[in-house]
Every structure is written in structure tokens, then in C-alpha cells.
Amino acid sequence: MNALSLVRLVLDLPRRRNAASAETTWVSMPDGVRLATTVYRPDGVERAPTVLMRTPYGSTRWRTPMFLFAQLFAEAGLAAVLQDVRGRYASEGSFVPFVNEAADGAATIDWVRDQPWFGGRLGLAGFSYLGYTAWAAQAQRPDAVDAVAVGIGTSDLYASFYPGGAFSLEVALRWAAGVGERESLAERDVDFERAVGFRPIRGADRVAARERTFFRDWLDHPRRDDYWEGFRPRLTKTPATLLVAGWYDFFLGPQLDDYATLLANPEAGPVRLVVGPWTHGRYLKRRRSPRARWFAREAAREMLAFFERHLLEHGDGDGGVGARILPVGEETWQEHASWPPEEAEPLRLHLRSGGKAGGLGGDGRLAAESPGVDEPADVFTADPSDPVPSLGGALIGPGGAVDQRPAEARSDVLVYTGEPLASDLLLAGPVRCELWVASGAPDGDFTAKLVDVSPDGAALNLAEGVTRARWRNGDATPSWLEPDVATRLDIDLWSIAARVRAGHRLRLEIAASSFPRFDRNPNSRDDPSRAEQGLAARQSVYHDAEHPSILTLTRLP
């Protein structure tokens, strides 16, 4: 049994027609650099609609998902073009992430349209970095592309690297080190554990493998500036689009923003959104779940159906829109007209305590009632030398839903827990936290984590966000905290769909770090990427009548 047959069996995909033998060629860019390109053509089809996929991970490596997708597309009657991006694997030139993908993608689109086997309709597809290459090329040739399918990826890289103003250290460092020079490094060849603890983090890339100039470029641009905007494709005139996302994926927030942008754009084609309880490309396995679906299975089925509809024109060309959602804790997919569902409504819960919310044994609680009288603030010490560890969540490494009790046992984690639910609660939409804080330092991070607590005490994370105080106003220059002055912060925990069962409780954790998902804040005016040391700082969270701290969820009636 060959690799494709095995994949088809595992993913429960039907056999369609056999793919023709692949043909490898070179595509010349305007500057003379040649990119290695492999074309898969369906048997017996002289001219076929085509799907283009551009990858930095090796176009001929059979274990890569897009190599297998190319053959599945060919089986369905589509020509598939798989190309190594500039400077990667067999392609010539130097690889600088993101910078050349728009121009090179546009030139490759022009080449595809000139081929005698091109059937007149073109789609772009890819996951993660490949999804970005699809958006970058489409923005350059909007009239030449008939469909775009992007999985676990986004057009907005700044929002992915700096959510809430903090640097996505784990994601950025793992990827920058693992991508290697021309070919990706094996995990055993990257010393991530030693590197992630190295300070200043500008040297962490060298400790992990070797110096990466682009990693240091990311650190040099902590604000949305011309650097990031220079390779941000604009979603203006767009074709039919499929977006596949994961509740525990580090691209989730920006990808849902892409979805909202497309829905609001009168020039955009029909849009379909699919979201499941996945990390970056991995389904969160649930035991004893006969209907559980792997990420690859759902993504393959959705992409095949999408391109059959919009490139082969099988079925209603305007069909397949809306949002297909699998909530965390559910076994059945839901179909909605859009996301969040129109019938969803806000649920506001207030942070309450007697001033002793630190740790699991504290008195913090979540309540529907607002504080009618003054309540003492909860105070803890944020020490950059001993950050709160990231447990699961939106990571490249082991992520997803993980028991949070080891973190909640710390005195520098504030824990607010609601009463047991009388009936199931179906969360479906954005999660936000309005937090009134004060600090003895000029800067600090505040993280918020939504947790589902089962009757046996297990506490599984659902959503997480951060705000770096210096960037709380969204300005290009820092807004420093005044010592011990109450200040409002808004923390975006992105979105979640989850069924919280009757008898379970909702919990909100507030802390000053989640490391290494986010880089350490030195609690000073120093550049976090250059700081070798940090200052322990006294942090306060208010929840009184004048300063109500509120968690806002979105639920279905």
C-alpha cells in the first residue's frame, strides 16, 4: 500500500481517479531566480482547473500534507501545482520569510495561466505559511483567482506575532529555529528548551540553532509599522473563500478577523468558515469518541468539496457558505449562517473577592452581580525571573486543553470561579476581559485565561489573552503606567465555541505572564527583547463599584 492509499484509508476518503505521474519543472521569476515546481495532472484530462500551493517545507516530501493534497486534488480532476518558495529546498535564491511571496506568487500565477494544460479556473490553497502565500499572491492578481482555501493561517502577521502587544515567543522561536537554512531542521537538532529561557531573547535564536536575522527583525518591530504592512496582503477584491481554523491555534484571532473582513466586504465572494477544537494542525483527541474527526480528515473533505464547487463547478456555486463549527466538548458539528451566530448574546460576569483571590485556596469568584460596595483589590507580585508557565493553549509545541491546576496553585495567579452550572452552557463567540489594574512598575503584562472546571476539579483551558500595558492605547509610542494608579485594560481572549456541562464551573485566571507563549515583560521601560533582567513588581486587580472588572462571554440561548 503506497502513502496516498494509506492516507485515503485513514481519512476515509473515496478513491476518485488515479493521478498522472508528476512532472517537475522550473518557473523563472522576473529577476531570473528559478523556483522548483511540480505539476500533478489528472489522467485523461487535457485541460484542467488548477490549484496552486507554494510551500517552504519541501514540495516533494511525501510526508508533508500539501504533497498528499496535491495528489488528492488530481484524483478529483484538478491539476495541482506545488512549488518550493524562493530559497527553500530545490528552489534558487535566498529565503526571507514573507518578503517575496507576493511577487513570486503573482509570477507563478501568470506562468500557470500560460500553460497548455490550464483549464481556465484557478484556486490557491495552503495551511499555515502556505495560507499566507495564497493571500499574498491573490492580492497581486485578484482577477486571475477564482477560489482561495486557507487553513490555520492569516493575512495579518503582526496580529499573530504580537497579540495584545506581547511577543509570541514560543511560536516565533520554534518556527525560526526549526525552519533551518534551506531545509527544515529535525526537532532533535533544535535546543529549544535551553534557548527559550535565554536572556536577552534577541540571542535565543543562536542558542536554539543559529542566528536568524528575520527573528531579530520581528523583535525590532513591536508595533504595527511599515515593516509589517509591507508584506500584509489586502483583502479587497477576493473570490470564493474557505477558511479552516482551530480553537487552540495561534492564528485563530487574526484568522477570524480575516473572516469578518471578508463578510463586511461587498467585493468579496462567498465565504465559508470551518473551526474545530484543534491546535496548529492537530485534532485534540478525545477518548471513546466514535465520531471524533481528525483535522486532516475535515480539512481534506472541506477543501475537496470547496474546489469541486468553485473550480469544477459541481453543485451550486453560491453554496457552501456560513460557518461549520465543532465546539470543544461536543461530538456534533453545528451549521450557522455566520460567526458568531446571529442569535448569540453576551454573558457578563464580574470578578469578586475579599482581596484574597491568589491561588486555588483563595476567595475569588465570578458572579453575575456587580459589586455594590467597595471590595479590596487582589494583590500579587509579578516576578519576571519566575514567570507563570504556559500550560497548553495556542502553541506549536504541546498545546490544546491541559489541566491548569499546577499554575492555579501559584500565589501569583488570581483565581475567580463561578458557581456550578444548573444546565449546560454553550459558548459561541468572542471572549473579552475588562480589567482595572495598578502596578508599582511603569509597565507590566496582564493575562486572562478562561477555564472549564469539572466536578472532579480538573481545570481545562478554553481561551487565553494578554495585554502589555505600555501598548494598551494602541499608540506607536508607549503609554507608561503611573505608579499605583488604577488603569483600565482590555484583554482580547479571541473566541471560543465550547459546551460547558451542567455541574461544571467557569473560572477566570489573571496573571502577569504565560511563558513561553508570551515573552517576559521586565516590568520596566526597557525593551523586553534586550532586557537581561527584570524587576519584581506589585500588581493589583480592582473589582469595586468604581472599578468593575468584567469577563464578557458570548453564549447561545
Report pLDDT digits (tens) over 386-427.
999 999 999 998 899 999 999 999 999 999 999 999 999 999
**Which one is predicted more confidently, 294 or 340?**
340
Task: Quote the pTM value.
Answer: 0.94
Which of residues 336, 364, 390 is at a domain's end? 336
Place of cell 495556542: 394
In terms of domains, do 397 and 545 share one? yes
pLDDT at 349 over 60: yes
pLDDT at 496 over 80: yes
Beta-bridge partner residues of 487: 437
The x, y and z cell numbers of residue 308, run together, are 469541486
In terms of domains, do 392 and 515 share one? yes
In terms of domains, do 200 and 310 share one? no
Please identify which of the residues 59, 91, 104, 128 carries the catalytic annotation.
128
DSSP assignments along 493-557, one per residue: EEEEEEEE-TT-EEEEEEES--BTTSPPP-SSSS-TTT-S----EEEEEE-SSSS--EEEEEE--
Tell me if residue 504 is catalytic: no
Q: Which residues of 360-395 are buried (b: 16+ CB within 10 A; e: fewer)?
A: bebebbbeeeebeeebebbebebbbeebbebbbbbb
Tell me if residue 189 is catalytic: no
Report pLDDT digits (tens) over 144-184.
999 999 999 999 999 999 999 999 999 999 999 999 889 99
Q: How far apart are CA 103 and CA 97, in angstroms?
A: 13
Residue 283: predicted pLDDT? 43
pLDDT at 1 over 90: no
In terms of domains, do 110 and 200 share one? no
9 pLDDT band, cuts 50/70/90, is: low
pLDDT at 284 over 50: no
287 pLDDT band, cuts 50/70/90, is: very low
In terms of domains, do 285 and 370 share one? no
For the chain, counts of helices (H) and of strands (E): 13, 21
298 pLDDT band, cuts 50/70/90, is: confident
Percentage above 70 pLDDT, the chain? 92
Q: How far apart are CA 551 and CA 348, in angstroms?
A: 6
In terms of domains, do 324 and 422 share one? no
Q: How many domains does the chain divide into?
A: 3
Alpha helices in 292-368 (DSSP H): 295-310
Place of cell 536575522: 213
Domain region containing 182:
168-221
Residue 68: predicted pLDDT? 84
Report pLDDT digits (tens) over 367-386.
999 997 889 999 999 999 99
Residue 289: predicted pLDDT? 38
Q: Report CA Rg, the chain.
A: 24
66 pLDDT band, cuts 50/70/90, is: confident
In terms of domains, do 69 and 180 share one? no
Which of residues 179, 196, 221 is at a domain's end? 221
* 102: CATH: 3.40.50.1820
Please identify which of the residues 146, 205, 249, 378 carries the catalytic annotation.
249
In terms of domains, do 331 and 298 share one? yes
In terms of domains, do 419 and 453 share one? yes
Tell me if residue 128 is catalytic: yes
67 pLDDT band, cuts 50/70/90, is: confident
In terms of domains, do 178 and 268 share one? no
* 406: CATH: 2.60.120.260
In terms of domains, do 47 and 95 share one? yes
Residue 295: predicted pLDDT? 77
Residue 282: predicted pLDDT? 53
Residue 259: predicted pLDDT? 98
294 pLDDT band, cuts 50/70/90, is: low
Please identify which of the residues 59, 155, 280, 544 carries the catalytic annotation.
280
Residue 7: predicted pLDDT? 55
In terms of domains, do 93 and 184 share one? no
